[in-house]
Structure 1
Amino acid sequence: MSEQQAHHQVLVIGGGNGGISVAARLRRSGVDDIAIVEPREQHLYKPLFSHVAGGTARAGITVRSQREVMPKGVEWIQDAVTAVQPDANAVLLESGERITFDQLIVCPGIQLDWGRVPGLAEAMQTPAAASHYEFELAQKASLLLRDLKEGTVIFTQPDGPASCAGAAQKPMYQACDYWRATGVLDRIRVVMVVPTETAFLAPFDRELERKIEEYGIELRTRSVLLRVDSATQEVVIGGPDGPEHLHYDVLNVEPPQSAPDWLKASVLPAPGASGGFVEVDPRTLRHPRFPHVWALGDAAATTNSKCGGALRKQTWVLARNLSRVLRGKEPKARYDGYAVCPFTVSRSTVVWAEFDDAGKQKPTIPFFRRMYRESRLSWVFDRHVLPWVYWNLILTGRV
């Protein structure tokens, strides 16, 4: 690569939802020298993974080629970042290449830490365990849940930061609805393990708890998965009353998560902060110590719940602010902490949970607060409308 090719006005780390859509917004605002560093050949629409696991979507509709979604006029550097040097305005790549930049946007997403729970990674190689947090494992989960006729199935949500943590529950509700329809629900013991005090957040707990009672789900609050023994198909759950040993016939896990290792090792996280996420002003999304560095999405140390639904507003704010900075002005746009988690509580209904970084309801349509109630219309929007909006409007920077 020539010296001219090795420098960009704006360099984006990560070609997922955040990286593609913020680059598209910047292109539409007139920025013409943008590059995205992304090693993967395929782009995944992950919100549908829970539908794949729940049997209401085909895996094929969640994936497109990375080249197909790359914004026109944006260079794709198909490589992986190994280090960031903000003092030198440079990043190092796995290939040994060094790329310099004027402005850097960090949005590589979050990594799945399978090794943090003893036995968990090994369990994923066995016939009885899966996860809807990876493409292949979501397809495996779909078959396991569909074919189960009796026994114990355990769903788990990890402690600590996680991308759309509440999504751990989505395939569970869909599976319960299916088992009820096929007449086997009363022969299946369903256990849901969550680290929180309640099922989710106060404004939405009533709806979720109603479905939990309706399906006969055993909810373990303030609890986490401690260990998996795949040979005996047993898990150890840590809860307020001490460890609990449970046998499983099917185990569906949302794995522990953290910032990418190279990001943890960089100077971008706040000194002494845990997690390794990029330090940012949670409203402007600009780094307080390195003003030429920005971050959004799961890799940013914002105050909102980590989820794909937060990215639409974050990319709008960041693109507006960065465009102003490139014109010599101060950033003015503010991110309001918005997040959303559409809970698929059956195979045809959704509880639409929109909230801010204080855990309070924040409906997109303020006068329609009943959106948080179980709704068939919300399911249609989540399952059919949003995927079209994602591929055609969000990734192109239009909404």
Structure 2
Amino acid sequence: MHITISKHSDQFSTAGQIKVEDLTEIAAAGYQSVICNRPDAEDGASHAGSAALATAAGALGLKFAYLPVVANQITAQDGAAMQQLLDQLPAPVLAFCRSGNRSTNLYRLAQASAAETATAQIGNRSSAFEVVIVGGGSAGIGIAASLLRRRPDLQVAIIEPSDHHYYQPAWTLVGGGAFDIQKTVRPMRSVIPEQAHWIQAAASAFEPDHNRIKLADGSTVHYKQLIVCPGLRLAWEKIEGLEQTLGKNGVTSNYRYDLAPYTWQLVSSLKQGTALFSQPGMPIKCAGAPQKALYLSCDHWLRSGVLNNLQIEFNNASAVLFGVAAFVPPLMKYVEKYNAKLSFNSNLVKVDGERKLAWFDVKDQDGHITRQEKSFDMLHVVPPQVAPEVVRNSPLADAGGWCEVDQATLRHPRYANVFALGDACSAPNAKTVAAARKQIVVVAENLIAARENRPLATVYDGYGACPLTVEKGKVLLAEFGYGGKLLPTFPLDPTVARGSNWFLKVSVLPWVYWNAMLKGREWLARPTKN
């Protein structure tokens, strides 16, 4: 046979795009029915249309049905329609689309609707999958792609309500005038692996004792294995008055897609006055990002000849500039170069944008806290960050609200079929995309090992990376693991800021993100083996 057929059962098989002349061989192979799941207009109608195929199939005594679906947009209703066709058409049935993946997903969804674990509920829909991933961010898409590269037939669902996917590490560059904000966003459907089923809804409750998840739309999703990676929540509301003034009155943040361009607008227009930068208590995503905003802003003001007209202050709720001691001395040289004042143990708690005032709770060496008022012309804010409520309020959470995991295997200590990675997991590593890139391999290999009753041999060493943009054109590449252990990828002194690291940050890493990490290609991402 000239086409490649994947047999899922004695009654059902799938294939990629077929031609009219293939139908003779399909009929000779014993198939009784053909289902077309590819829209006729897809890719400019360069393939055989359903009408021509239906006519040719009829002439050969084959039943033909047309159920077109768009990749990554398959709904529960599509699955129900597929099940109805399978109930009506004589078997065996061959379904096809461009590659066979959509037909496979439709078949799995049809099966899930009738599975024993998919208990029907009045007014609700219920479905079941082998692996359910909660979260469609860097960790969620990356782990889905890596799993499906290892096991293409694995039944994977991704629960993610957002329409868009963001490359957040570039937002600091946007705020420094060095990157186009439009290049940091793509439609969510374009990054979800074609074999994965996208459930566009928010998870509202984890029920791990019953292997199920409640969704905000009232439906239920059952799983055999669960991967928790919904990211963290930016708690803007914890700073009084902040939400009312964000994006105006000189108040901005590189932690939001719509605000990063405003940061650059403020930086490029400020010629004199006071610029305040804040950093909340840990944990936060990318612990170096708050000071990256400081350095890139100061570098622009220095190059523009206005730095001496500005009073610059970095307010850090922590007691140190950076958590890994080896990188503090080189960073301090830039702090001194830019004549920036450092205020440690200083936590932003209130903002009045119209009056250009900010209040900080400052803790002295004896632990006493006083509230200090400071005026500003520009204020760059990094909000407090917390675990999502759906995790915090679940049996999966640790005392801090994060999804509890063994820090080596990333498996939950109390629920053996649950893994977590990314910003929402409890492992004591830096919350960065670089950390997720390494964690993806650990979870993919350990989850499959658990499915096959093998030991979990893949170990996460706490790797995280923070490319500290200390000036436009130079980056200090901080790579480290648990306990602050230095884990440089390249055989160079990691405490030296380099132009090559800037090229890596601005050009290489975004390409690797979109074309490797989110596609399941694990370049330089291999973890340690036990």
Instruction: Bin the TM-score by the shorter chain.
Output: over 0.9
Give runs of aligned pairs for residues 121-140 of structure 1, distance below 5 A.
121-140=243-262
Give runs of aligned pairs for residues 265-304 of structure 1, distance below 5 A.
265-270=393-398, 273-274=399-400, 276-304=401-429
Larger radius of gyration: 2
Contact 1:352 1:372 in 2 (8 A): yes
Where do 5+ consecutive residues of structure 1 fail to align?
A: none
What is the DSSP-based 3-state SS (H/G/I as helix, E as strand, rest coil) of the residue aligned with 2:243?
helix
Give runs of aligned pairs for residues 324-363 of structure 1, distance below 5 A.
324-363=449-488
Write the distance in 1 (CA, Å) between the matches of 2:486 and 2:371: 34
The corresponding residue for 1:89 is: 211
Write the distance in 1 (CA, Å) between the matches of 2:270 and 2:442: 45
Instruction: Give the TM-score normalised by structure 1.
Output: 0.96
Alignment deviations for residues 151-203 of structure 1 (CA, whole Å, 9 cap, x no partner): 11111111131111220111221111111111111111111111222210211
Matched, 1:264 2:386: no
Write the distance in 1 (CA, Å) between the matches of 2:383 and 2:288: 12
Matched, 1:227 2:350: yes
Matched, 1:206 2:329: yes
Write the distance in 2 (CA, Å) between the matches of 1:72 and 1:330: 30
Contact 2:143 2:520 in 1 (8 A): yes
- Deviation (angstroms), 1:232: 1.4
Give runs of aligned pairs for residues 1-399 of structure 1, distance below 5 A.
1=76, 4-5=112-113, 6-30=127-151, 31-200=153-322, 201-241=324-364, 242-270=370-398, 273-274=399-400, 276-365=401-490, 367-368=491-492, 370-399=493-522
Contact 2:350 2:358 in 1 (8 A): yes
What is the DSSP-based 3-state SS (H/G/I as helix, E as strand, rest coil) of the residue aligned with 1:385?
helix
The letter of the residue matching 2:204 is T
Write the distance in 1 (CA, Å) between the matches of 2:436 and 2:520: 11
- Deviation (angstroms), 1:244: 2.3
Range moving further from structure 2, 3-12 or 46-55:
3-12
Contact 1:203 1:360 in 2 (8 A): no
Write the distance in 2 (CA, Å) between the matches of 1:309 and 1:388: 14
What is the DSSP-based 3-state SS (H/G/I as helix, E as strand, rest coil) of the residue aligned with 2:178?
coil
Report the RMSD for the aligned CA atoms in angstroms.
Answer: 1.3
Alignment deviations for residues 299-331 of structure 1 (CA, whole Å, 9 cap, x no partner): 000011211110111000000001111122121
What is the DSSP-based 3-state SS (H/G/I as helix, E as strand, rest coil) of the residue aligned with 2:520?
coil
Write the distance in 2 (CA, Å) between the matches of 1:160 and 1:337: 16
Contact 1:22 1:397 in 2 (8 A): yes
- Deviation (angstroms), 1:27: 0.3
- Deviation (angstroms), 1:125: 4.9
The letter of the residue matching 2:484 is G
The letter of the residue matching 1:231 is E
Write the distance in 2 (CA, Å) between the matches of 1:332 and 1:360: 22
Write the distance in 1 (CA, Å) between the matches of 2:346 and 2:411: 35
Contact 1:158 1:165 in 2 (8 A): no
Alignment deviations for residues 362-394 of structure 1 (CA, whole Å, 9 cap, x no partner): 2123x42x1331111101101110000000011
- Deviation (angstroms), 1:278: 0.4
Write the distance in 1 (CA, Å) between the matches of 2:508 and 2:248: 35
Write the distance in 2 (CA, Å) between the matches of 1:328 and 1:144: 56
Contact 1:157 1:166 in 2 (8 A): no
The letter of the residue matching 1:323 is I
Contact 1:54 1:172 in 2 (8 A): no
What is the DSSP-based 3-state SS (H/G/I as helix, E as strand, rest coil) of the residue aligned with 2:112?
coil
Write the distance in 1 (CA, Å) between the matches of 2:185 and 2:217: 26
What is the DSSP-based 3-state SS (H/G/I as helix, E as strand, rest coil) of the residue aligned with 1:343?
strand
- Deviation (angstroms), 1:221: 1.4
Write the distance in 2 (CA, Å) between the matches of 1:257 and 1:198: 19
Alignment deviations for residues 97-129 of structure 1 (CA, whole Å, 9 cap, x no partner): 100000000000000101111112122153310
What is the DSSP-based 3-state SS (H/G/I as helix, E as strand, rest coil) of the residue aligned with 1:122?
coil
Bigger RCO (CA 8 Å, 6+ sep): 1
Where do 5+ consecutive residues of structure 2 fail to align?
A: 1-75, 81-110, 114-126, 365-369, 523-530
Write the distance in 1 (CA, Å) between the matches of 2:335 and 2:204: 44
Contact 1:197 1:222 in 2 (8 A): yes
Write the distance in 2 (CA, Å) between the matches of 1:355 and 1:244: 35
